[in-house]
Structure 1
Amino acid sequence: MLNDFLNRLAGKPETPKTAEDERLALTALLVRIARSNWDYATTEVDTIDRILERRYGLDANAAADLRHDAEAVEAQANDTVQFTRAIKDNVEFEDREQVIEAMWELVLADGVRDAEEEGILRLIAPLLGVNDRDSALARQRVEARLKS
């Protein structure tokens, strides 16, 4: 599964990208954000699992399995663009703000706006076609939800 995903991201034309690629790519990006400050905390792992459960309708075990696969893919990946490309290929532009909201939820999960995590999110957003203003609005929506 992991090798198939990496081969598809490498651009082998005979293998189309799939919605499963989008799931793995988004999860790998979430893992990459969480690991960016060298502190992959339990709070972040739990938040990733909750995001996956909610976004994809997964149970706890399926979410943990997807995260586990994504951890391996993320560790092998040389860059972030391969993940953003898989998302752009499978997620409509209008729905990408929800992807950014999920990322902000992860960044803010521990109550701290970590510079490394925020920095990689600011790199990812434009790669997904989401501008700084819309990313900031997504962050504000997440902050409002977390306060309530």
Structure 2
Amino acid sequence: MFDAIRDFLARLGDGDEGRRPARESPELAAVALFFSVINADGEVTAAERSMLRQLVARDYAESDPEAAQLLRQAEEAELESVDLYGFTRVLNRRLSPDEKTHFIELLWELAYADGVRHELEDHVVWRIADLMGVDGRDRVSARQRVATRRDQASPDAPGGQSTETAKSGDGTG
């Protein structure tokens, strides 16, 4: 799973010539959106932070100091942001439709990192998917793939269908 994520994120920076302004960096935009998801429910768990650090260290940074710097910059950018559009705009210019759907799947990985799909995290993923032009069917399919992987990895772990339905209302989104 992490190999696919690493390959995907590595492609975000392919073809960049020269230095981009920090706000135009696809890496910064992606990580800021990751923060938007894990911050949505008002509680950032150790599991969410750990998964976020793993994603950044494996896929965005060549060193621990570089990962730490990107995390700081992205968290600051997300806190200063008034909406999600600025970040999704950067990614929309870089990603194909399939890559956008895969990115939504990464967001679901973070949303499920603590074992529970919270309705506020669900809403943020839905909004990002909408801004990136990922239709509802693809967004739900991405969520279901993540939930299935989590259930297969640990059938008794929280985050399965019954838990997500209870936390998100009707369980359809």
Q: Structure 2: 5+ residue runs without aligned partners? A: 1-20, 154-173
Deviations 1:80-120 (CA, angstroms, capped at 9, x unpaired): 10010011012222211111011000111111110111111
Q: Structure 1: 5+ residue runs without aligned partners? A: 7-16
User: How many Å separate the matches in 2 of 1:50 and 1:144?
Assistant: 21
Paired positions, count: 132
> What is the match of residue 64 of structure 1?
68
- Percent identity, aligned pairs only, is 31
**2:105 is aligned with 1:101:** yes
| 1:48 partner letter | L
User: How many Å separate the matches in 1 of 2:62 and 2:134?
Assistant: 26
How far does residue 63 in structure 1 lie from its aligned partner after superposition?
2.9
User: How many Å separate the matches in 2 of 1:47 and 1:143?
Assistant: 16
**2:117 is aligned with 1:113:** yes
> What is the match of residue 17 of structure 2?
none
Check whether the contact 1:105–1:142 (CA below 8 A) recurs between aligned residues.
yes
What SS does the aligned partner of 2:104 have? helix
Tell me which of the two structures has the higher relative contact order, counting C-alpha pairs closer than 8 angstroms and 6 or more residues apart: 1
User: How many Å separate the matches in 1 of 2:116 and 2:64?
Assistant: 25
Q: Which runs of 4+ in 1 moved over 6 A?
A: none
User: How many Å separate the matches in 2 of 1:95 and 1:34?
Assistant: 21
The structure with more radius of gyration: 2
What SS does the aligned partner of 2:47 have? helix
How far does residue 55 in structure 1 lie from its aligned partner after superposition?
3.7
| 2:127 partner letter | L
Of stretches 49-58 and 69-78 in structure 1, the one that deviates more from structure 2 is: 49-58
User: How many Å separate the matches in 2 of 1:91 and 1:108?
Assistant: 23
RMSD between superposed Cα atoms in Å: 1.7
TM-score w.r.t. length of structure 2: 0.70
